[in-house]
Structures are given as structure tokens and as C-alpha cells.
Amino acid sequence: MNIRLTTEEHVTTEPGETLHAALRRAGVDLVASCGGTGSCGKCKVRVVSGKFAGVPSTRLTLRERERGMVLACQTVAETDLYLEVPKESRLVVGDRIALSRTGELAAYLRTYGAEINPLTKRIDLELPPPTLTDSISDLDRLKRALVLAGFGGIRLSHGVLATMAGVLRCADWKVSLTYVEDNEFRDEALFLTSQDDARHRYGIAVDVGTTTVVLYLVSLADGAVVDVASTYNSQIQYGDDVITRIVFAAEQSDARHGVAALQSAVISDINALLDAVTARHAIADESIDAVTLAGNTTMSHIVWGLDPASIREEPYIPTLNFFPVWKAGTLRLKVNKQAPVFTMPCVASYVGGDIVAGVLASKMHRCPETALLMDIGTNGEIAIGNEEWLVTAACSAGPCFEGSGIRCGMRATAGAIESVRIDRSSFEPAVSVIGNVHSVGICGSGMIDAIAELFQCGLLNPKGHLVEGLTSRIRKGEDGLEYLLVRSPDRQNDIVLTQCDIENLLRAKAAMYAGVTTLLAEAGFTIDAIQRVYIAGGFGSYLNIEQAIFLGMLPDLPRDRFSYLGNTSITGAYLALLAKELRNEAEAIAARMTYIELSASRLFMDEYVSALFLPHTDLSQFPSVARRLGERKA
């Protein structure tokens, strides 16, 4: 059957295939932390027209069912369908751009010219069985065979020996030894299996985001992404951003317990995703024997149980930036305990492995053109450079684009206002809300829209102050002036954007832009030098670039220089899982990147103050905005 989405995407279903499976195959990834068993109720879609079969789910309210909502994982098309996939059902990350269309990743990997050379490798060995006259121990027998195979120097872990006696005999002395290459020390043997068991090999790439955890199950033979799973990082219960989580850990009577609670939360999330994908593909945990992780510096520390406290305190020192390859058993991950885990190297306390992964995924470090990578998430990290140089900084943009510190702010989930238009004459707003439900708040893209529209209409002056007297929607509230976006019957639940919110948002956009110009200045360039702009991060997928430029958040460059890259953290982790060359390249990127501590930079403070204006005190940096403002006056 053909399925047409309200977003104009097209999907074809195989007979009997669930909508969930069909959408996933087409690169439209749905949130489904239960792995498609119908129990989590997160993969809601709305059938606008067409017939379908499926069990009505108790996870849906009567009202939802009346409106045609179904769980995609429990529903099969009986005719062609016209389908709406609400934003809150989509993975927050990268479902709109080529790089994160997982079907294309193996092809993308090939464009690097890197051979598939996963974290783990195998050697087949055939040992002569022992006799009374050749009665050396199993270990000595294995070592003898390794010497003959040219692997005499390999280290043997307890994991190899723990099951060796049984495996050698069950496999009739024809075995496969899995080992991990080590750049610094001798290679280490990890475990022994029969040659049959060694045939199917999988790895996982995991993006440990502050908000979302995404996992790719990858065949190590050909790099195919076998499955994708995603869930929210349940550390959210301890705080929305890295700082509140670090504070949470520090405030426990014993900081180790706080770190352990955070670690345990995210490990449980990854294990839940693993449960889902291993069940779907009937894969034994043990056959997943390579892992890569990418996350910001705090997430990388917490996942390994390292106390992130010092990241938060001047002079902002992480425990480590380059993580040794440790074992999955240390993390209690539900994969082979001996599986090596490669953690994307970090650059500094606020520029982590997710950014290094982003640079790797963007290839900016390999190109002569100078590129700007902006990861617009909770913190706002930027990297600028090319094949010769790379600079990076964290902008401390703060979590306001994710709803924190904004009176009616929320994340981009059901009920969030995601876009706003304000009528130029009546000043009345038209809003669109995620999930076709009543609006309950406003998310990042809605805030950017709202501020751009207010500015466009003259309801906000270049200093970011709301202008009184033009419309009754600008009124005095508890915290001073506010713009009324949505009126509620009892006024108690009015959705407003306050002067205070606007100032928060302007500080965030100013930090991002000032970060870019400061970094450029440090490198001796101006905005014009930037030939490519890569926008990464979950938020970035829904950002209205035109409006963001209009605010002065993104540089005013020709629009064809901008690309959405979606979740570059998972893309980088995927690349590192498969190619030794790219793992080395990630480490070279981290080592090459010059980190600029903006909090200590006078230039940044000056740039920041200039960028607090709309769009900027120096309008010459924003020629297209100047034109648009000119048109407005005309």
C-alpha cells in the first residue's frame, strides 16, 4: 500500500508490515522505547483517510481513537493511507536529512575512503587436540597457535580464559578469537567462540544526549544499520541540563551515589533500547561485541561513572578528554561483557565528543573550504575551521531554547507552539501546535518565530524591548510587559512571552553569534570567510533559518551555504564504530581543535553586548536583514 504523509513524504508498506516498520524503513523514525510491542504507547500516528487493521490500544484515550489516532507499531494498512505523524511521535533527532537516513550511512562511510575495520577483529584458529604426550594447558596450547598465526604478542583477558576450556572442546578445537587492537599497548584478546558463533557480528553506536539517547544496531560485516532505537535520557528526572545534573550529584550526601544514580539512569535507557533491538532481530547479547559512545563531556563522564563536579567549577577541568577503550562489562551494558567501548574524545569541559563526532560527520576537517558547525542544543557549541585549522567554543547559550527559564517554555513535544505568525496590521498571532492538541506552552522554534515576528511588526524594538500602545496583546503582567500569544478561558493559563523571556532568548542568541564572531576573530577571519554552515542537533532540525538570521542568531550568509546535518553525534559514533582510520581521525580532530574559553575573553564580552541587539548593533553584518527591515518601513 502507498502511504502519503501530511508532510508530503511517501512510504510503501509490504503486506502485513506495520506502519511503524514501514516508516522506519523509509527513514521516518518514531519514538518507541518499548521497541514496537505496543506497550509504551509513544508511536502515535493519525490516520487522516484510508482503512487499517489493528488492535485498539489502551494507551490511546477515547478521544484520540475517535480522531483516528493509532499506534504505528500495532497497525497495518488495508488501503492506501493519508497519514499524519505528529512531531512528538517522531524521534527528536535527525529524520529529515540525508546523513541520518540510516540506509545511506554505509554508502556515506565509503565516501571517507576508509576500510571497514571495526573495533573488534577475529582470528580463526585450529588447535591440535591434547594427548597424554602433548598435555600442555589449554592456555599454552592457545598461545602456541597464536604464535604460529603471528599473534604471539596478544594479551589475554580473564574473559577469554573464563570459558576457554568448554569452548575449545565444544568447537572441536576450531575456534575464533575476538580481539581488540590497541594503539598504545599490545592488542588484547577478548573472548573465544566456535567459528560458527563468530559469523554474525554486531556493534552499537550510541548518542548519549542530554535529552535523548539514540542507538544504532550495526552489522560489523558491511556497516548496514540493522535497526535504530531512541528514548529520552531518564536523567531528565534529575535536571534538564548538564549543570543541574552536576549540581544534583554534588548535592547528594555522597557525590558517588549521585553520579551512580545518573549513570544507572542512562545505562538503563541504553539497555532498554538494546532489549528492543536484540529481541526484534533475535540477536544474542554476546554477539554485540563493539560499542561506540558519543556525548558531551558531562554525559561522557557520567556514563563511565566519573564525577563531573569539576566540570562546573572554574577552571572547568574534566577528569579526562581522551577515554581509554574500556569494557562494556564495566558499564553493565547488555552486550558482550568483553566488548570494547570507544568513547568519542572530548576537547574540553564544554566541548565534548558529540562535537568531535559532528566535525567528523561533517568532514569539515578534511575540506579546504572553511566551515562553521553550530550544534544548537542545550549549551550551543560551535566549531570553525577546515583541513588546516579548527577552533571551537561553547557559548553558554543556556537551555532556554529547550524551554528552561521561559515562563511558558517547554520542549518540542505535544502541545508546544512550534511556529508563530503575527498579522502585520492587527498584531494578532496565528500559532501552530505540535500534535494537534491545545497549546500548553512554546518550544524553541516557536520562540524564535515569535521574537522574529514581534520584531518584524515593530512590537519589539532593536534593543529587545516590547513596545506598548500598538496592541492590547502587549500588556503588563506579573513580571512586567508581556505579549499574549494564546488566551485561555480563565486567564490563568494564558500563553505569553514576557519581556524577561525575550531577554533570556536574546542573551542566548547573542551568545551563539558572539561565539561565532569571536572564534573567527581569534582565527583572524571575518564572517565572509565561512563557506559552509552546518546546523546540527535535535533542535536544529526544526529551526527556521530565515527567522534565526533575522534575529541575528545565525550569520547572514547566502542561504545555499546552510545545511542541516541532523544528529551528527550518532553519525560520528557510527563512523567510528566501523573504521579504525576514523577512530584515529576523531582523536586527531579532538587533539587538533583549539578550544577558546569564551568566559575569559574580553572580545567575546564586547561581541556579546553588540549581539544583544536585534539583529546586531552592526547592521552591516546583516545585509539581508537590513533590506527586510527597509522593506518593512517602506
Contact residues: a copy of itself, CB under 8 A: 130-132, 134-141, 155-156, 158, 161-166, 169, 185-186, 255-256, 304-310, 314-322, 324, 326, 330, 348, 597, 600
Element (H, E) at 48: strand 44-49
In b/e form, how buried is each residue of 355-379, taking b as 16+ CB within 10 angstroms?
bbbbbbbbbbbeeeebbbbbbbbbb
Collect all residues with Cβ–Cβ distance below 8 Å to 58 and sequence separation of at least 6. Answer: none
Pairing assessment for the beta strands 212-219 and 225-232 based on DSSP bridges: antiparallel
Identify the burial level of 39 via C-beta atoms within 10 angstroms of its C-beta, where 0-12 means exposed, 13-18 middle and 19 or more buried.
Answer: middle
In the complex, the smallest distance separating the C-beta of residue 315 from a copy of itself, rounded to whole angstroms, is: 4
Is 236 within 8 Å of 244 (Cβ atoms)?
Answer: no
In the complex, the smallest distance separating the C-beta of residue 207 from a copy of itself, rounded to whole angstroms, is: 22
Element (H, E) at 442: strand 441-442
What does each C-alpha distance from 250 to 243, 254, 256, 307, 621 come to in angstroms?
A: 10, 8, 9, 9, 43
Contacts by 617-620 with C-beta closer than 8 Å and gap 24+?
none
**Cβ proximity to a copy of itself, 263 vs 413, nearer residue:** 263
In the complex, the smallest distance separating the C-beta of residue 188 from a copy of itself, rounded to whole angstroms, is: 10
Amino acid at 459: L
Is 48 within 8 Å of 68 (Cβ atoms)?
Answer: yes
Backbone φ and ψ for 333, nearest 5 degrees, come out as: -75, 145
In the complex, the smallest distance separating the C-beta of residue 160 from a copy of itself, rounded to whole angstroms, is: 10
Collect all residues with Cβ–Cβ distance below 8 Å to 25 and sequence separation of at least 6. Answer: 11, 103
CB atoms within 10 A of CB 454: 25
**Cβ proximity to a copy of itself, 265 vs 545, nearer residue:** 265
Distance CA 193, CA 160 (A): 9
DSSP characters for 64-116?
A: HHHTTEEEGGGEEESS-EEEE--GGGB-SS--SSGGG-GGGHHHHHHTTTPPP
Collect all residues with Cβ–Cβ distance below 8 Å to 367 and sequence separation of at least 6. Answer: 386, 387, 532
**Cβ proximity to a copy of itself, 5 vs 348, nearer residue:** 348
In the complex, the smallest distance separating the C-beta of residue 313 from a copy of itself, rounded to whole angstroms, is: 9
**Cβ proximity to a copy of itself, 346 vs 614, nearer residue:** 346
**Cβ proximity to a copy of itself, 55 vs 591, nearer residue:** 591
In the complex, the smallest distance separating the C-beta of residue 126 from a copy of itself, rounded to whole angstroms, is: 17
In the complex, the smallest distance separating the C-beta of residue 338 from a copy of itself, rounded to whole angstroms, is: 12
Is 51 within 8 Å of 70 (Cβ atoms)?
Answer: no
**Cβ proximity to a copy of itself, 23 vs 154, nearer residue:** 154
**Cβ proximity to a copy of itself, 230 vs 343, nearer residue:** 343
**Cβ proximity to a copy of itself, 10 vs 158, nearer residue:** 158
Backbone φ and ψ for 267, nearest 5 degrees, come out as: -65, -40
**Cβ proximity to a copy of itself, 52 vs 350, nearer residue:** 350
Instruction: Determine the Cα angle at 508 with ends 507 and 509, to 5°.
Output: 95
In the complex, the smallest distance separating the C-beta of residue 287 from a copy of itself, rounded to whole angstroms, is: 18
Is 417 within 8 Å of 446 (Cβ atoms)?
Answer: yes
**Cβ proximity to a copy of itself, 297 vs 567, nearer residue:** 297
Distance CA 327, CA 338 (A): 6
In the complex, the smallest distance separating the C-beta of residue 321 from a copy of itself, rounded to whole angstroms, is: 5
In the complex, the smallest distance separating the C-beta of residue 250 from a copy of itself, rounded to whole angstroms, is: 10
**Cβ proximity to a copy of itself, 308 vs 377, nearer residue:** 308
DSSP characters for 581-608?
A: HHHHHHHHHHHHPEE--GGG-HHHHHHH
**Cβ proximity to a copy of itself, 164 vs 452, nearer residue:** 164
**Cβ proximity to a copy of itself, 250 vs 626, nearer residue:** 250
Distance CA 64, CA 18 (A): 19
In the complex, the smallest distance separating the C-beta of residue 310 from a copy of itself, rounded to whole angstroms, is: 5
In the complex, the smallest distance separating the C-beta of residue 135 from a copy of itself, rounded to whole angstroms, is: 5
62 grid coordinates? 477515547
In the complex, the smallest distance separating the C-beta of residue 601 from a copy of itself, rounded to whole angstroms, is: 11
Is 364 within 8 Å of 374 (Cβ atoms)?
Answer: no
